[in-house]
Structure 1
Amino acid sequence: MVESKRERAFVTGVTIFLILFSIAAIVPLLSVISTSFSSKSVVDMNLVTLWPKEFTLDSWKYIIDRPDLWKSFFLTVGTTVIGTVLALLMTALFAYPLSKSEFRWGSLIMVCVVIAMIFKAPIVPYFLTVRSIGLYDNPLVLILPHILNPFNLIIMRTFFKQFPKELEEAAFLEGCGYFRMLFHFVLPLSKAVMATLALFYGVVLWNQFQHPLFFLQDTNWFPLQIKIRQFITDDSVMMAGAASTVDLNYNERTLRAATVIFAIIPIIIVYPFLQKYFVKGAMLGSVKG
């Protein structure tokens, strides 16, 4: 199929725009990475741009030796994994019946889902509600409020509506019930949308900041993002346990840069493995309403 000049010009324009946008997005990241691997003297003189100068691992050694940072890291890993699994399970159990035309209350429930997606709960009533059910200063607040998202529910429901009815009818004739149908047939054939929503839920759980800030007072339950906030805003927390000698090859700026990169490494590692499912799942979930 031969492209017209207008189509080629459009593709070229989009490509140039995406390249420029990618450069604009990656330059600040490269600057932070370079700062984390540079010595404090060149950082103090603002000589670091996109490449480390006077390369050193001292900032990373100090960060890696912080037990409080590792505690927050593993807490965040645990809540992200458990929360994502529970979120996918709840979303599937909710979306599957809503995808069936024979479900009498499906349309009404979907209206409520859309309203919940458009109109967010006010902060004060939401805070009082979460506190009233015993989640204040409770690590479960890092998981339970995030296990069902209206937008993700709509995507999964739309995907399930495209599932071949012939396969379901054949399974029902063999005596298969709805739960067995969902877990033995539908979900194994829904890897694309499951991977997409796993990424959506996982990123939200990994990066959550508002919930722990509002609901957690015990520093033992601080997730990684709150711990990073302490590192960035409180020099006493950042430099706690640091040697008092003057020949340190790191300072607050290099340590903060290393901490930020430390927090985003897991997402950067996981995303390439889910990318092939991401576009496919998002597209399949948006074809049919």
Structure 2
Amino acid sequence: MKPKWNWFDALNALILSGIVMACLYPFVYMLAVSLSDSASIASGEVWLWPRGFNLDMYQYVFEDGRVLKGYKNTLIYVISGTAISLIVTALGAYALSKTKMVMGKPILMLIVFTMFFNGGMIPTFLVVKELGFVNTIWGMVLPGAVGTWNLLIMRTFFMGMPQELEESGKIDGLSEIGIFFRIVLPLSKPVLATIGLYYAVGMWNNFMGPLLYLRDADMQPLQVILRNIVLSGQLTGTDGPVVGDIVVVEDGLKFATIMVSTLPILLVYPFIQKYFVKGALIGSVKG
């Protein structure tokens, strides 16, 4: 028997469809503009589909040798940073999920305190500098290695695991570390995928960190390099004789750089979406 639709369901579908369109249209518009020719952009003909299809803006972006180097650096930071963050967060969350942990509650309160109060940008920079992490990969991956909210979500997940799993591991002669790596982690794919995506997106979009901690141009990630390309494109456009072409160069180049920096991280989601919904609901019922 098919479910009957009423006016409330129809209204919900209409509102949600409008929200989806409002969220998707800017992305579709940027893609269309970045693939259109200058004349179509200047005349305002581009709304949904590319007009005068060409790849000039993407060619301009990728002709800069810094882009591939920026991709390489960003992938190194994202992969290493996400791996370190997941390991440290999982270990900390597993320890805090144990009610028998000595000083567990005070330590948890201190960690939660950092969600509301922190030292600020300058003290953090001074700490990173004193540790010798400036202009190194460690300055990119260690300052934000643990997110308090992610730690609490993972702790809630571990607390929901049956106690019998740990007891069976001890009967088989496993230590706490053995139980963690051989029993707990294999059963934690949903939360690991969800938290890993959060960390990866944050690392991919990291812009302020490289500006503060990196001095070597060869170590700059993609986001900083694309920003420099946009600025250089604007400066090149201002030398042109036609004002309309300046706007076209700015808009086309800007949207092309946004697409270049956004698409790779979007392509990751389909591979982990089966875990994402389940992992995102962790802590929504109890915590």
Query: SS where residue 146 of structure 1 aligns?
Result: coil
Inter-CA distance 54–133: structure 2 relative to 1 (3 Å threshold): same
Q: Which of 155, 158, 172 does residue 157 from structure 1 map onto?
A: 155
1:136 is displaced (CA, Å) by 2.1
Number of the residue aligned with 1:272: 270
Farther off after superposition, 276-285 or 221-230: 276-285
Number of the residue aligned with 2:230: 232
Residue correspondences, number: 277
- Is residue 36–residue 258 contact of structure 1 (8 Å, CA) maintained in 2? yes
Distance 2:156 2:109 in 1: 14
Number of the residue aligned with 1:128: 126
Q: How does 1:73-152 map to 2 (within 5 A)?
A: 73-152=71-150
Q: Which of 279, 282, 286 does residue 280 from structure 2 map onto?
A: 282
Inter-CA distance 280–11: structure 2 relative to 1 (3 Å threshold): farther
Q: How does 1:1-289 map to 2 (within 5 A)?
A: 11-235=9-233, 251-289=249-287
Distance 2:66 2:259 in 1: 17
Kindly provide the amino acid, as one letter, of the partner of residue 141 in structure 1.
G
Write out per-residue CA displacement over residues 68-119 of structure 1, whole angstroms, 9 at most, x where no aligned residue: 1111011111110111111110011111111011112111111011111122
1:189 is displaced (CA, Å) by 0.6
Distance 2:273 2:115 in 1: 25
- Is residue 158–residue 286 contact of structure 1 (8 Å, CA) maintained in 2? no
Kindly provide the amino acid, as one letter, of the partner of residue 48 in structure 1.
V
1:16 is displaced (CA, Å) by 3.0
Kindly provide the amino acid, as one letter, of the partner of residue 167 in structure 1.
L
Inter-CA distance 90–11: structure 2 relative to 1 (3 Å threshold): farther
Kindly provide the amino acid, as one letter, of the partner of residue 98 in structure 2.
K
Inter-CA distance 194–40: structure 2 relative to 1 (3 Å threshold): same
1:142 is displaced (CA, Å) by 1.5
Kindly provide the amino acid, as one letter, of the partner of residue 142 in structure 1.
M
Distance 1:238 1:174 in 2: 69
1:259 is displaced (CA, Å) by 1.6
Query: SS where residue 234 of structure 1 aligns?
Result: helix
1:218 is displaced (CA, Å) by 2.0
Number of the residue aligned with 1:245: none
Number of the residue aligned with 1:247: none
Distance 2:161 2:62 in 1: 47
Inter-CA distance 107–10: structure 2 relative to 1 (3 Å threshold): farther
1:221 is displaced (CA, Å) by 1.4
- Is residue 31–residue 256 contact of structure 2 (8 Å, CA) maintained in 1? yes
1:236 is displaced (CA, Å) by 7.0
Kindly provide the amino acid, as one letter, of the partner of residue 42 in structure 1.
S
Farther off after superposition, 212-221 or 196-205: 212-221
Distance 1:122 1:206 in 2: 22
Write out per-residue CA displacement over residues 181-234 of structure 1, whole angstroms, 9 at most, x where no aligned residue: 000000001100000001010000000111112222222111111112112223
Inter-CA distance 209–238: structure 2 relative to 1 (3 Å threshold): farther
Number of the residue aligned with 1:243: none
Give the alignment's TM-score, normalised by structure 2.
Answer: 0.89
In structure 1, stretches of 5+ residues that fail to align are 240-249
Kindly provide the amino acid, as one letter, of the partner of residue 180 in structure 1.
G
1:66 is displaced (CA, Å) by 2.5
Kindly provide the amino acid, as one letter, of the partner of residue 44 in structure 2.
N
Query: SS where residue 268 of structure 2 aligns?
Result: helix
In structure 2, stretches of 5+ residues that fail to align are 238-247
Write out per-residue CA displacement over residues 234-263 of structure 1, whole angstroms, 9 at most, x where no aligned residue: 337878xxxxxxxxxx84432322221011
